[in-house]
Amino acid sequence: MNFFGHALVASWRSGEPAFALGAMLPDFASMCGMRLEAALHDEAAAGVACHHATDRVFHRLEPFARAVADISRRLIARGVARGPARGVAHVGFELCLDGELLDEGGAAAAYRDALAAGGEAGVEGALRWSAPDGPARWRQLCARLAAHGLPVEYRDPARVAERVERILARRPLLALSPAGAAIVMREMPAVAERVARAAPRLLEELRAELAA
């Protein structure tokens, strides 16, 4: 699950902005090119734990696993190499899901409030990063995301395809070839449609599993 999805899940559990922030922190750390080593803030730390619990459940849910397998097979059949196809299916599904979740009740407010909390001295000062310039990177990310607003680009299959290509390029075994990237661009609308069909059941099962 991607960061905006984690904000939604956090809103099911708590109305505390620092909790929602914590639920997104592992993803935000990756976006900054570093690791979160510790969150010395009770609500933020609880949110980080929620992030990891959510991912453990989400990745084994049948609607997600089946969709990723189907998308992978479709991409392979059209000429994408097996490793990159699996990477595209996984990452592309999660980004498209964020686009589907933008209008879910509570998600947008949880996201905006969490970003605001990220700049509060009591929260920011409690975050420990792997990079020496971690605090500066963190402030830059919070400012950039707040100025950008909701990640509406994840509703656009073409922009999702571009984002997926950039993400996979960091991992040599998953990087798309130029031909593979062209195929992914053509196929991403079908991926988005598959995600839209899977989303209601996926959310229902995720909420039930996390509440169990």
Q: What is the total residue count of the chain?
A: 212
pLDDT of residue 212: 79
When pLDDT is averaged across residues 131-139 and rounded to a whole number, the result is 95
* 62-101: pLDDT as tens digits: 999 999 999 999 999 999 999 999 999 999 999 999 999 9
Residue 16 has pLDDT above 90, yes or no: yes
Better-predicted residue by pLDDT, 212 or 14: 14
Overall domain count for the chain: 1
Task: Tell me what the pLDDT averaged over the chain comes to.
Answer: 96
* 108-146 core/surface letters (b: 16 or more CB in 10 A; e: else): bebbbbbbebbeeeebbebbebeeeebeebbeebbeebe
Q: Are 180 and 81 in contact (CB under 8 A)?
A: yes
Instruction: Tell me what percent of the residues of the chain surpass a pLDDT of 70.
Output: 100
* 24-66: pLDDT as tens digits: 999 999 999 999 999 999 999 999 999 999 999 999 999 999 9
- Of the pLDDT bands very low, low, confident and very high (cuts 50, 70, 90), residue 10 is very high
- Of the pLDDT bands very low, low, confident and very high (cuts 50, 70, 90), residue 199 is very high
H or E element, residue 38: strand 36-39
Instruction: Tell me what percent of the residues of the chain surpass a pLDDT of 90.
Output: 99
Residue 130 has pLDDT above 90, yes or no: yes
Q: Nearest Cα to 95, choosing from 8, 177, 195?
A: 195
When pLDDT is averaged across residues 186-194 and rounded to a whole number, the result is 98
Residue span of the structural domain in which 43 resides: 3-211
pLDDT of residue 180: 98
